[in-house]
Structure 1
């Protein structure tokens, strides 16, 4: 298995440093996954820029984390599942919703269930949603244009989840309570 270095702001390639500084300022740390992504300035810079834009969507913080957690589970990325489980709970997502998603199920809350189902359908169907998928999303109170914001979340997740699956960075102590293994 190939190993990837985990960079700090000081050790990262020049083109990755600003992105790591932004993450550190926003999160109070450079997560191990981002430290690994920093080996590619284009990857980390694109990821941080997209993540920053995703924060400006109409989704609440909890909804954003539910979406990202749903993607992490669908992509079977253990590091991202632990990270987004921790953040989802910190941002007020119901524990029952987080646990359901981690088991590969839909949350009981209809709005969160629609968001989770839609993001999973986009992954499973490679973006080819049918009318029923869109109706599930809009019936939960989301504007159809928010599907474009879901795509932003999917792009972010693809970069992070695939990096996590490829590089398998160690899980930080603050996320270990939410450690996850494929198959839960």
Structure 2
């Protein structure tokens, strides 16, 4: 990857021997590995058996989970927050695991629409929840730094599964609690 970054820098007309760029190809390769580390994770590693028996059947929400991802179309960041809710049926997942699930999928080349669905489906699969709701709000550098250059635009996506899709009252409760 380091050699490819060096070639990109040469292709844009940069001098790789100037002091500020001497180690840039290696740093850029290391940064890209970090930004896409979700490819090297599995859901089993992320959850790490942190499922606990619970009699709760009330909505659980983890709100304002910051996320950093990379647009698969332009390789530019999108930055925002995720709100994840589920209604358990006999077991709950450790609180930090919800954020780790968000990170695992966000740290891959993505489109926000797919990221939202991946998180929802995975939380449902892991917990066996009666329903799952996920909303993501993010600013996309591909829209802010290039193209249309709209600085204040925010994209919102949602995925509603089970009772969050089928029951208007459940969806309304979720939406009111994340406001």
TM-score, length of structure 1 as denominator length: 0.26
The structure with the largest strand share of the pair is: 2
- Greater RCO, 1 or 2 (C-alpha within 8 Å, sep 6+): 1
TM-score, length of structure 2 as denominator length: 0.27
Q: Which has the larger radius of gyration?
A: 2
